[in-house]
Amino acid sequence: MASNLPKLMIFGSFGVAGLVASLALIDIVTARPFAGSGTMDILFVLSSGVVGYLGWEAYQDLKWAALTTAQRQKVRLSFLSNAASSWRVHCSNRESTNRGEAMQINVVKRKTLAGEICLGTMMFEFNTTGVARLAAVAGAEFAVFDMEHSGWTIESIRMLIATTPKSEITPIVRIPALEYHFVARVLDMGAMGIMVPMVESAEEAERLVRSAKYPPMGRRGAAFTIAHDEYRNDPIPEIVRSANEETLLIAQIETAKGLEQVEKIAAVPGIDVLWIGLYDLANSMGLAGQLSHPDILAAIERVLAACQTYGKVPAVLVTSVADGRAQLARGFRLLAYCGDCSLYQSALRDGLLALQA
């Protein structure tokens, strides 16, 4: 406001001058004092504003004439830059208005299906209001909140999703079992992805899709102006379309039976990701903890091949940087780097050992 004060004073002086001139002219033309009513009075008052505006334009012309060629070029470039920036904001706002702010863009889904890599982490223990934001600040692109092994209730998941900055990190929930009430409730709370453990057939994969998608693609129940659409009153057809497009569906391949059916599972429309659960798969194959066993390595290649054939995203949990690099080299595109328990424990242990040395 302070920087605009000289401009306001100049503009105001021209306006006052115009008003005084108008009042004097009224007295001369009508031979009576200004009364503030009547067509002539109104026209002359309006003319004062015009005089002020013209005076301001003349003042700007004088300023422009005083500028050097370099200064004028700088002003032109600044104007064009500001205009371009304003147009980008306008277009962005118009797109947001057309799509609705509640129409969350699932960056992880779009990037991975386009062939890019996304890195994130998993949460098992720390159900706090800041844990997702901490992960986002650290650079994680997604966080998987686990219900299978954590014992977290629906209320815990509700809080975790509500405190996740979705524009910075994508919240995904691993539900404990493939049941409609888990899928639908977690999605209605605002999860942008669902992970289902131990998927063993195409029929189970199809059931996941039906539970997660609105008609005609599925049978998800309709509830609007709640958490999943940010409590907004956006057009329902747009909410339905966006939810069906943006929700990430992950089927875990982590049993011998699931491995045998992996090609049929991968062929199911609507499934986006095949996440290989190495520890459960090794257990199921009688190879507990033997993640470098030839049969496990062959299983990994089979899952990767199924993903390649049917256009799915291969995903896995890694427990070290070296492990992560190796899996990326194999072709995995969605990687969760450790869980919250192991990250906290290893960082604390390393620090304490360094201090004790």
Catalytic, out of 90, 149, 181, 293: 149
- d(Cα 93, Cα 99) in Å, to the nearest integer? 10
Clarify whether 228 is annotated catalytic.
Answer: no
Instruction: Return the sign of the alpha-carbon dihedral for residues 13, 14, 15, 19.
Output: positive
Token pair in block for residue 25: 């002219």
Query: For position 65, what pLDDT does the model report?
Result: 65
Query: For position 172, what pLDDT does the model report?
Result: 98
Query: For position 95, what pLDDT does the model report?
Result: 45
Domain 107-356: top CATH class: alpha beta
235 prior amide bond cis, ω within 30: no
Cβ neighbour number for residue 156 with a 10 Å cutoff: 14
Instruction: Report CA-CA distances (Å) from 286 to 10, 255, 262, 299.
Output: 87, 10, 19, 13
Domain ranges of the chain: 2-99, 107-356
pLDDT tens, N- to C-terminus, the chain (357 residues) = 444 445 545 555 555 555 555 555 555 445 555 455 555 555 555 555 555 556 656 666 666 566 666 565 555 545 544 544 444 444 444 444 444 444 689 999 999 999 999 999 999 999 999 999 999 999 999 999 999 999 999 999 999 999 999 999 999 999 999 999 999 999 999 999 999 999 999 999 999 999 999 999 999 999 999 999 999 999 999 999 999 999 999 999 999 999 999 999 999 999 999 999 999 999 999 999 999 999 999 999 999 999 999 999 999 999 999 999 999 999 999 999 999 999 999 999 999 999 999
Query: For position 357, what pLDDT does the model report?
Result: 92
CB-based burial, 74-105: b 16+ in 10 Å, e otherwise: eeeeeeeeeeeeeeeeeeeeeeeeebbebbbe
- d(Cα 249, Cα 205) in Å, to the nearest integer? 9
Residues 6+ apart with CB under 8 A from 163: 129, 130, 132, 133
